Chain A
Amino acid sequence: MNEKLNVLLVDDEELARDLLKSYLKGHEKVQLIGECENGFEGVQKINELKPDLVFLDIQMPKITGFEMLQLLDHKPEIIFTTAYDQYALKAFEINAIDYLLKPFSKERMCAAIDKVVERRGQAQEQSQRISRLSEYADEEYLDRVVVKDRHRIHIIPIEQIRYIESMDDYVLIYTDEGRQMKQNTMKFFESHLDPHEFIRIHRSYIVRVSQIEEIQQYEKESYVVILKDKTKLKVSKSGYKNLKEALDF
């Protein structure tokens, strides 16, 4: 473990990056391998350079630090750097290895790096921690979803989502313009979509209420939902209960 940690900076403000760079210069445990000034670039470079550690700002143009985490193939250690963000703070306290509140001192940053060095090697714990982190949204309900197909990042406004289907470790998001695949859990969407707009009708489906055209019984105690685009989706027992509660019938 004598190797230096490869570090990447992601922050949209040049001065903030300059400060971190000058702090990191000469630090014996790390080596700076790159810097990015927005989330798109961040996703690309992390997947390409596979750093061990990323200093990540939360509020950035295009996509936020949290959204970036959902798009990573390579999962590095994350130290968040942020000025002030009440939602983010909550998430850090639960899952992040450490977070730095701007402005921070060099000593504080070194302590955070030491923490990472200390925790490295506990690989299992790390991957768990990071996947939990990527399930955090900076607000209670999402107003957009970011997805990546090959090399492009798409931003889907929530209004465009018709329904969501689960498929192993992925979810398929059906929109007005087709469908997108995203690595995430149904649980994440269930808890981050406004329950007034979306209902979980089945283990595999979350449906936008306003898309529902009809609810049909096709066997005793089993139902299907027919959407406006004529898609038929199965409804489970608990899903039927959810529908009944939400639509009040």
Chain B
Amino acid sequence: MASSESYPDDLKYHPEHDWARIDGDEAVLGVTWYAQDALGELVHYEAPDVGSTVSKDSSYGEVESVKAVSDLISPLSGEVLEVNAKVVDAPETVNDDPYGDGWLIRIRMSSPDELEQLLDVAAYKKVLDEA
């Protein structure tokens, strides 16, 4: 069932409601609790191809609910190493667990210095307060 509102401290955030979990030169990307709550239960995840490149602030795919189709904005640039097949099969996994099983792609970062431009949890919560 639906998860409750949370924003983990260990993640980096993008103001378009996307998160990144950094592990060495790799990053796992997903959408925040706020994003899945605003969209409602997801019915489709249009994922990028493994091996394709994503660039910071650009769309790398789409998620669709009965309300709207929303672009997935990449917080970082890099190459797609893996797509979460579980979310492709069951998009509502994002609603159930946006920071865990509901991750969307894993990338190898091409410009790690972009990390400095991302928000920490306090700064992201400020974005939400203004939304």
Chains A and B bind each other: no
